[in-house]
């Protein structure tokens, strides 16, 4: 079979087009410079060839010979100048071509990286959306195909579909939050109230897994956006519960650190290997162990969203963990006194 010729990527063709533009500009400048230089030099030569001005010293010995010699010298100089300018322009064409290409690549690199990230994001998002949709489709098709589906079976199908819809809603909500360009209105946030709200959201899930959440947070105020602080704590608690064994404890507490307040969410779960600790904040990244045995639900978007919200409020989100002993996620925000 004949191999298909590789298509030029839009960035390769954009690089080439930009290279040509840079070169055209460079050559125009170079030709303009050469033209001006040639005009000035020719002018000077002509002035030197022209009639002698008053007061200029005259050499009477064989004046016509001297004039001829001067003309020849000037003509030779003019020829040399033209050759030099042609060589100079050729050098600009060759050297400038390479330079223009490097410059074009450099100019387009950040755009290419952003474009690649966008493509990856779209394809990852589509992939995550496909799975629940496929599950729903299969269940509905099976339900429709069998003529004698009992009412109980129909209810089970609807319940299962509802679960998938809830998953899809959470995923699309996170995607929308991640795509949002709106600035967070920052004010004073009551950390204690935010933690109580987040814990209340997660208690049913913790109870299902027989995990206790110990809220040791005292009165503290930080600079931030209330709903975002609640969202971050809820994401951290959700993970602490998901990645911890049944009957373990999750602790939430605050501590002052300079002019900041650190909120720690501490669990006794599986922990995160050191080489994964930076990657877990990337979009759609999930540590393999959370995919394989004892599959844990998730899309790998929670921490990237939490970190983005923390950064937007001028704070930070870090993790410390020892595999098998648990993880501590620390949200740091400026304290308000
Ligand atoms: P999700 O939990 O939906 O997969 P996240 O972005 O919240 O997505 O987390 C990314 C990954 O980081 C998870 O898949 C998991 O592997 C790891 N992780 C997050 N929190 C914890 C935790 N408390 N303990 C162990 N691993 C964690």
Is the alpha carbon torsion for 110, 113, 116, 120 positive or negative?
negative
How far, in Å, from the CA of 126 to the mean position of ligand 1?
A: 20
Closest ligand 1 atom, CA of 240? 23
Q: What is the CA radius of gyration of the chain?
A: 36
Portion of the chain with pLDDT greater than 90, in percent: 64
Q: Is the minimum distance from the CB of 272 to ligand 1 under 6 angstroms?
A: yes
* pLDDT at residue 291 in the model: 45
Distance 135 CA to ligand 1 centre (A): 23
User: Which atom of ligand 1 is found nearest the CA of 270?
Assistant: 25
Q: What is the pLDDT, as a whole number, of residue 182?
A: 82
Distance 168 CA to ligand 1 centre (A): 18
Residue with CA nearest ligand 1 atom 3 = 298
Residue 137, pLDDT score: 93
Q: Whose CA is nearest to atom 21 of ligand 1?
A: 239
For residue 227, which of 263, 264, 283, 186 has the smallest C-alpha distance?
186
Task: Quote the tokens at residue 56.
Answer: 């200029």
CB-based contacts of 322, cutoff 8 Å, min separation 6: 271
Closest ligand 1 atom to 300 CA: 8
Confidence of residue 31 (pLDDT cuts 50, 70, 90): very high
Buried-exposed string 166-183: b where 16+ CB fall within 10 A, e elsewhere: ebbeebeebbeeeeeeee
Nearest-atom index, ligand 1, CA of 298: 3
What average pLDDT does this structure show over 30-58?
Answer: 77
Structure tokens at 220: 């503290």
Per-residue pLDDT band at 178 (split at 50, 70, 90): confident
Percentage of the chain exceeding pLDDT 70:
91
Smallest CA separation from ligand 1 atom 25, residue: 271
Pick from 303, 318, 326 the residue to mutate for probing ligand 1's pocket: most ligand atoms within 8 Å of its CB.
Answer: 303
243: Cβ below 6 Å to ligand 1?
yes
Q: Which of 266, 187, 261 has its CA nearest to residue 220? A: 261
By CB atoms closer than 10 A (0-12, 13-18, 19+), residue 69 is exposed
Q: For residue range 197-214, list pLDDT tens digits in order.
A: 999 999 999 999 999 999
Cβ of residue 302 lying under 6 Å from some atom of ligand 1: yes
Please check the confidence at residue 1 and state whether its pLDDT lies above 70: no
Cβ of 280 closer than 6 Å to ligand 1, yes or no, is: yes
- Determine the atom of ligand 1 nearest the C-alpha atom of 326: 24
Angle at 156 between CA 153 and CA 160, to 5 degrees: 145
* Mean pLDDT taken over the chain: 89
Answer yes or no: is pLDDT of 55 > 70: no
Structure tokens at 6: 């590789």
- Ligand 1 atom closest to 281 (CA): 6
CA proximity to 306, closest of 224, 198, 233, 222: 233
Whether ligand 1 lies within 6 angstroms of the CB of 132 is answered as no
**Each residue's pLDDT tens digit, 139-156:** 899 888 887 778 888 898
Q: Taking residues 14-21, what's their average pLDDT?
A: 94
What pLDDT digit, counting tens, does each position of 275-308 carry?
A: 999 999 999 999 985 544 567 888 899 999 999 9
- Decide: 287 in ligand 1 pocket, CB within 6 A: yes
């Amino acid at each position: 079979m004949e191999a298909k010729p590789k298509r030029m990527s839009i960035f390769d063709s954009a690089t080439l087009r930009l290279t040509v533009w840079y070169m055209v500009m460079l050559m125009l400048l170079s030709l303009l410079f050469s033209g001006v230089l040639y005009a000035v030099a020719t002018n000077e030569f002509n002035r030197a060839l022209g009639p002698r001005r008053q007061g200029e010293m005259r050499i009477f010995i064989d004046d016509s010979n001297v004039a001829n010699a001067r003309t020849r010298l000037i003509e030779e100089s003019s020829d040399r100048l033209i050759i030099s300018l042609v060589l100079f322009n050729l050098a600009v064409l060759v050297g400038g071509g390479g330079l223009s290409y490097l410059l074009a690549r450099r100019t387009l690199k950040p755009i290419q990286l952003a474009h690649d990230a966008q493509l990856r994001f779209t394809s990852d998002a589509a992939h995550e959306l496909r799975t629940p949709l496929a599950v729903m489709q299969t269940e509905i098709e099976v339900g429709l195909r069998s003529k004698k589906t009992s009412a109980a079976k129909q209810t089970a199908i609807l319940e299962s579909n509802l679960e998938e819809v809830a998953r899809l809603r959470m995923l699309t909500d996170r995607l929308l939050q991640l795509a949002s360009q709106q600035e967070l209105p920052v004010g004073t946030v009551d950390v204690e109230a935010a933690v109580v709200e987040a814990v209340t959201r997660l208690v049913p899930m913790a109870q299902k897994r027989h995990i206790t959440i110990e809220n040791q947070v005292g009165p503290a105020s930080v600079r931030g956006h209330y709903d975002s602080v609640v969202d971050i704590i809820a994401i951290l608690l959700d993970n602490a519960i998901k990645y911890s064994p049944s009957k373990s404890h999750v602790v939430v507490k605050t501590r002052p650190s300079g002019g900041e307040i650190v909120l720690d969410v501490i669990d006794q779960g599986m922990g995160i290997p050191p080489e994964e600790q930076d990657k877990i904040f990337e979009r759609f990244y999930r540590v393999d162990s959370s995919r394989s045995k004892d599959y844990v639900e998730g899309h790998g978007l929670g921490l990237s969203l939490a970190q983005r919200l923390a950064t937007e409020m001028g704070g930070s989100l870090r993790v410390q963990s020892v595999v098998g002993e648990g993880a501590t996620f620390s949200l740091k925000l400026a304290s308000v006194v």
